[in-house]
Amino acid sequence: MLDTKKIIPDFPILGKKINGKPLIYLDSTASSLKPAQVIRAMDDYYQRYGVNIFRGVYKLSETATEKYESARSTVASFIGSKEANEIIFVRNATEAVNLVAATWGEVNVDSQSNIISTVMEHHANIVPWQQLVKRKNAKLNYLDITEEGRLQPGQIENKINVNTRLIALTYVSNVLGTINPVAKIIKIIKEINPGVKILVDAAQAVPHMKIDVNNLGADFLVFSGHKMLGPTGIGVLWAKGEIMKDLPPYQTGGDMIREVYLDRTVFNDIPHRFEAGTPHIAGAIGLAEAVRYLDSLGMDKVRRHEEELAEYALSNLTGMKEITVYGPHTAGDRAAVVAFNAKGVHPHDMAQILDRDNICIRSGHHCAMPLHTRLQIPASCRASFYIYNTKKDVDLLIEGILKAKIFFE
């Protein structure tokens, strides 16, 4: 198991006190905290070799270029990709989805096409497809969930047809915590229509469990650095094989070109074709350091630690009077994120009361309004746990919820 006593000191912000109270951070699903190792790696870039990449033949530029491309290889290895050029650096998972919609989607979707997503998706895996089908006069359908917040694989057979071009689904729900059986679902899809492409939103999966894209069967996989101990402003699009090879660029300008003439441009090879302009060099370096940090812990241990916290949180919350917990009630089927509501207490009020004790949770619809509509609730509270959380944090959360309930009685 993880030794949280050794992990916690790595996170400078956890030493911070507000009004004499320690920070109880339960919002890692929104954005994780950053260890000192990541902060130092980025600071090292800015202080020792903080220049631009690719363009310079002097030593500092060559060092920066080597570090940036090494980061690509490190990230590729972390998710099981055998080819570093399958990794395209973007700002975040949202941009990665938009990139696929604006390149692959523009070429492969027409007025006869349909795309499938699910009601449990983050807005970032819904809105780009809405806009694409609007431009193309195509169709967008959704897979529903059970009352416990699980996808129903049997629905797929009724949704897919010869005109289905892409299915976009989340690996882990950022609200329900549901871990979807993605490999099983993809296998079903490919048996029905081998030509269908699959995009997996793994923003809540890659930080918390071992992912191997070789065994998954997906064609695209997206995730963000800031949810996995890395910096903001850096994310990843993994695209299988040479899917992106002949696609038009997402943005145009510096470094995504090979040759430019007044009447035409020859575009660069992948992945550089999709990384226009000066990239977030420090961000890529920081993400690579975050990957090394997680690797040093062991992703199997990370998953076991979070499953233990999820089980402890669920057992406490489901045993509380007038508390409704959303999503699967078995820890093995969900990530360490728990959405709940307390009868008579608005989620925003709950979050404010907890904040008095420096307990940080999220309240609202968590960029998943269609899911909340499906659950017939306007908003929810969300507590999420990561490698630096302990059962004591869960205990303090429960105490805070009880305080809030008493306050609003």
Q: Which residues are catalytic?
A: 367
Q: How many CB atoms lie within 10 A of CB 297?
A: 16
Tell me the longest C-alpha to C-alpha distance in the chain: 72
DSSP element (H, E) containing 360: strand 359-360
| Beta carbons of 381 and 341 less than 8 angstroms apart | yes
How far is the C-alpha of 50 from the C-alpha of 31, rounded, in Å?
26
DSSP string, 123-185: GGGTHHHHHHHHHHT-EEEEE-B-TTS-B-GGGHHHH--TTEEEEEEESB-TTT-BB--HHHH
> How many whole angstroms from its chain centre is CA 260?
36
Cα dihedral: 119, 185, 155, 364 (round 10): -10
The candidate with the shortest Cα–Cα distance to 287, out of 48, 9, 42, is 42
Cα angle, residue 120 at apex, residues 119 and 125 outer, rounded to 5°: 85
